[in-house]
Homo-oligomer: A and B are copies of this chain.
């Protein structure tokens, strides 16, 4: 029996090493680039030793889309909160961690989307996961209809819900209707989708999806993380731009991208917010957002409700960069948003291009490989913002053309 015991003994270290070896073999082992951004000089940053540094670089892949993370109003609000109430909240929302900043920000976000109420989470990931899982549990027999390109956090929430799921082809209304028509009319239904798909840079037909939701009595859940602050007259996202916010059951957003800080939220009617607040473990059992962050977001949301300069600057920069790259014959993916993806189609080459850009050109753009995008669609993803000027764009274009030639990558068109 002893020898059998030895033979069957699990070799944990071997299993863990094999898991890492698989990543290397597929060329998608990730190396985190070690940087510090320079407040007041974004997109400039410092890159640290071991990663081509220390030396100055230009960041081309930040999701601080409007550079609000360095806005004087945001910095001032955070500094004030830091000195007024201290570093952390000290507890969950229910136990000591509900500050007046949280209450104010939830009111501000509800107003941004024209909803009765809003609820803060520690991240957009958690808001998607917790809300979708909880909605399905509160609605026994619920079927969730999910766009095939939905973000990992929505997929996690749907899987953790343990409910039935139907995946519709990306932005395909006909396929969604086919699936809705097939489903039991008596079953609760929730359609989960995004407005701006961040790796494609395309936009969902929100009004069309709302029409289908009306026809089949389904609820709707819209992830606007890559749109809030950036679209709509007050930054309420694509749902504001398209004047359909009132038709959506739940709108979800982030505080860590265009608003420049950290955290996530949902906005909906008062009862739904109360249900998620009361039943979602990912909301209940976690220390609330630091009041310092919440104060910064409050300033950011309020500023972007009235100021349009950042949004206009971002759209102009995105249009200019797309035109420049396209004119140079580089394979820019189509799309009418602020996101500029350039297709590579191979994880090793995507990483190689990124490495050369950083080492030789001081350009920081991360390769986007599986599991962030499907295998075979590996790409570079540029996020020009109001602070990227024309000279930076020319430098970037020249560098890409030179590398495309050097690596003998086929040019588009």
Contacts and interface: CB of A to CB of B under 8 A. Distances in A.
Interface of A: 5, 8-10, 12-13, 15-17, 19-20, 23, 29-30, 32-39, 42, 48, 59, 61-64, 68-70, 74-75, 78-79, 82-91, 93-101, 103, 122-126, 129, 138-139, 151-153, 156, 159-160, 185-189, 217, 219, 254, 256-257, 260-262, 271-272, 274-275, 277-279, 281-282, 284-287, 289-293, 296, 300, 364, 366, 368, 371-372, 381
A39 B86 CA distance: 5
A125 B32 contact: no
A278 B22 CA distance: 11
Given A8-B186, A262-B289, A287-B256, A61 B274 contact: no
A9 to B, nearest CB: 6
B30 A94 contact: yes
Contacts of A16: 138, 271-272, 274-275
Most chain B beta carbons < 10 A, residue from A48, A100, A138: A100
B82 A75 contact: yes
Given A83-B75, A186-B10, A99 B35 contact: yes
Contacts of A274: 16, 20
A124 B12 contact: no
B61 A95 contact: yes
A189 B254 CA distance: 37
24 contacts: A9-B186, A10-B186, A10-B188, A10-B189, A19-B138, A19-B278, A34-B100, A37-B86, A39-B82, A39-B86, A62-B96, A63-B95, A64-B86, A64-B90, A74-B87, A78-B87, A79-B82, A90-B256, A122-B126, A125-B282, A126-B126, A153-B281, A153-B286, A285-B372
Contact of A89 (B262, B285, B292): B262
A69 B296 CA distance: 17
Contact of A94 (B5, B32, B290): B32
A36 B32 CA distance: 37
Given A19-B278, A90-B37, A153 B75 contact: no
Given A12-B188, A153-B285, A87 B260 contact: yes
Chief secondary structure at chain A's binding surface: mixed
How many protomers of this protein does the assembly include? 2
B278 A30 contact: yes
Nearest to A28: B278
A36 B84 contact: yes
A154 to B, nearest CB: 10
Contact of A123 (B36, B124, B286): B286
Contacts of A35: 96, 98-100
Contacts of A19: 138, 275, 278-279
A68 B290 CA distance: 13
A5 B184 CA distance: 11
7 closest Cβ contacts across the A-B interface? A64-B90, A256-B287, A8-B186, A32-B98, A125-B286, A62-B90, A70-B86
Contact of A88 (B12, B91, B139, B256): B256
A16 to B, nearest CB: 5
A126 B264 CA distance: 14
A34 B279 contact: no
B278 A23 contact: yes
A100 B36 CA distance: 6
Given A98-B32, A152-B281, A284-B152, A138 B15 contact: yes
Nearest to A184: B8
A105 to B, nearest CB: 12
Contact of A98 (B34, B93, B277): B34
A228 to B, nearest CB: 13
